[in-house]
Amino acid sequence: MKKKRITWLQVSIHLLGWLPLARIVLDYYSNALTINPIQEVTQRLGRLAAYFLIASLAATPLHTLFGWREMLKRRRALGLYAFMYASLHALMFIGVDYGFNLGELNTILLKKPYALMGMTTFFILLPLAITSFKWFMKKMGRGWINLHQLVYLAAVVDIIHYAWAKKGNLLALSGDILQPLLLGILVVLLLVLRIPPVRRWASGFRQKFSRQRRILKKT
């Protein structure tokens, strides 16, 4: 049997996964969560969920563009961190901010588009997290791949959620939209790189490039 080696990438991902949470706890005890700590924590958790979601989406393109094969193995960890922060974000909003006030939450979650989009993202990520184990992967076969392609939708809906929670107008490019705009551009790029012709072109480009380098090395 092959011995499993722990790689630097693995260590970094898990450090990056837990450090922001540790930072929130630390900031809580040192009173560094602004004057409005509940909102600050909710927003931080939401941003972290988006960052990890985008990082998980970046794995395949990083392989396509740079031949970074190990990234493909790390998709699961990145996706699960995204789910962890999304869950904490939702729990913070529902439980701490609104104190499980179901009457008010009902109207918010069903009528307010930004909350609806956030909830949609969460409920897309939920089955993906549950079926992230190897056992499901083997059991579900082709269906597993189809199901997990829903992550593309989750990312798009999440960006809309982010933009709609801010004071601005993403379509008119006005207001407080810089961050959702940048993340949105990133998501679009990462999705475009998956379109088969684009992907072939990108990986062909990479192979040509590495072949030239090999030739250069030899001479």
Partner 1 sequence: MEKKLNHVAVPSSEITPQREYISRRDFLKAMGIVTAASLLAACAPQDPTTNPPVTGAPDRPLGLPPQMDELGTQSNTFEEITNYNNYYEFSTDKGAVASLSQGFRTRPWTVEVGGLVHKPKTFDIEELLQFEQVERVYRLRCVEAWSMVIPWTGFELNRLLREVEPMSSAKYVRFVTIQDEEQMPGLSSRFYPWPYTEGLRLDEAMHRLTLMATGLYGQPLPNPNGSPLRLVVPWKYGFKSIKAIVRIELTKELPETFWNDIAPQEYGFYSNVNPQVDHPRWTQSSERRIGELSRRETLMFNGYGEEVASLYSNMNLSVNY
By CB under 8 A, name the binding residues for partner 1: 34-36, 38-40, 97-99, 101, 104, 107-108, 111-115, 164-165, 167-169, 172-178
Give the contacts of 51 (CB within 8 A, at least 6 positions apart): none
Residues counted in the chain: 219
Q: Which strand (E) or helix (H) includes residue 169? A: strand 168-169
- Residue 71 in tokens: 């990234």
Other beta carbons less than 10 A from residue 98's beta carbon: 16
Q: What is the dihedral of CA 51, 54, 56, 59, to 10 degrees?
A: -120
Closer to partner 1 by Cβ: residue 14 or 112: 112
- Smaller CB separation from partner 1, 111 or 134: 111
Q: Work out how close the CB of 39 gets to partner 1 at its nearest, in angstroms, rounded to a whole number.
A: 7
Least distance to partner 1 from the beta carbon of 160, Å? 11
Q: Which two tokens stand for residue 54?
A: 């985008």
Nearest-angstrom CA–CA distance, 146 and 129: 14
CB of 90 to partner 1, least distance (A): 16
> What is the spatial distance between Cα 164 and Cα 162, in angstroms, rounded to a whole number?
6
Q: What is the closest distance, in whole angstroms, from the C-beta atom of residue 112 to partner 1 in the complex? A: 5
At 175, give phi and psi (nearest 5°): 95, -160
Q: Which is nearer to partner 1, 1 or 172 (CB)?
A: 172
Q: CB nearer to partner 1: give 105 or 129.
A: 105
Largest CA distance in the chain: 74
- Smallest distance from the beta carbon of 123 to partner 1, in angstroms? 20
> Considering beta carbons, is residue 35 or 216 the nearer one to partner 1?
35
